[in-house]
Structure 1
């Protein structure tokens, strides 16, 4: 799915431009049951605070309330790891979408099976979102090759 994953993220390349990818990621997150709670425009923030120019990049703080509630019930300290950050950024090769891998959360907590279940569920949903985005390269929108996309 990716050639840019550092080990604690899941990622995919988008066939679309930056602005279209940001909107598409929002829609795919919603399809996967996530809402976007926060948005940080790193390009604008770094320009305003440091007067430096960087490539377009946004951090979307995604949350699936049901999963957050389950994780918090098992370990209230998990709140420090929420929401799940999803980054859309431009690089020399196009647009990359990365999400924090919820499996990494398991190594940071002692909450046991309950947090593992939440992490697994969130990971599957995020992987599905990224796969749908990457698959859009097939026909430019839906990833379907049967002409019914």
Structure 2
């Protein structure tokens, strides 16, 4: 089962993170949280891990629309976008597929919101392709 929308690019990890945040902003998303998993796992467990960031992205008007329809939708927010360094040195940017998320609710009224957010994430990933050389595109499982 595919549950992400993703793109692999070449470039400096930190630059790809910044480009991702800027592209999200350009499409109406704010990043509510930015979790550095590499630093967290080192600090909390003393474990080494690849460069890996979790960006909690939120589009306030769409979140408001969804929460108005189903207040429990908040358990699925914000939509996570991850940026990580793959074993081959490419940088992968992967967003949760919001159509899958809203599908969990069994609320047909949320389907259009899931589609709108997915379309916006696709544009964000396309913007990355314009800023960084695209590696082989992949989809998550």
What TM-score do you get using the length of structure 1 for normalisation?
0.84
- Kindly indicate whether residue 98 of structure 2 is the aligned counterpart of residue 98 of structure 1: no
User: Which of 46, 53, 58 is 2:53 aligned to?
Assistant: 58
**Highest Rg: 1 or 2?**
1
- Kindly indicate whether residue 37 of structure 2 is the aligned counterpart of residue 49 of structure 1: no
Deviation string, structure 1 residues 29-59 (Cα, Å, up to 9, x no partner): 0011100001110000000011000010000
Matched ranges for 1:99-138 at <5 A: 99-113=95-109, 115-137=110-132
Query: Tell me, which stretches of 5 or more residues in structure 2 are unaligned?
Result: 134-141
User: How many positions carry a matched residue from both structures?
Assistant: 133
The residue number in structure 1 matching 2:69 is 74
Distance in structure 2 (CA, Å) of the matches to 1:137 and 1:80: 33
Query: Which stretch has the larger CA shift, 38-47 or 7-16?
Result: 7-16
Q: How far 1:137 moved relative to its partner?
A: 4.2
- Kindly indicate whether residue 73 of structure 2 is the aligned counterpart of residue 85 of structure 1: no
- Structure 1 or 2: larger helix share? 2
Query: Tell me, which stretches of 5 or more residues in structure 1 are unaligned?
Result: 1-5, 139-149
Deviation string, structure 1 residues 61-113 (Cα, Å, up to 9, x no partner): 00000010011111111100000100000011210000000010232112222
Instruction: Answer whether contact 1:14 1:95 (CA < 8 A) is retained.
Output: yes
The residue number in structure 2 matching 1:21 is 16
What is the RMSD of the two structures over their aligned residues, measured on CA atoms?
1.5
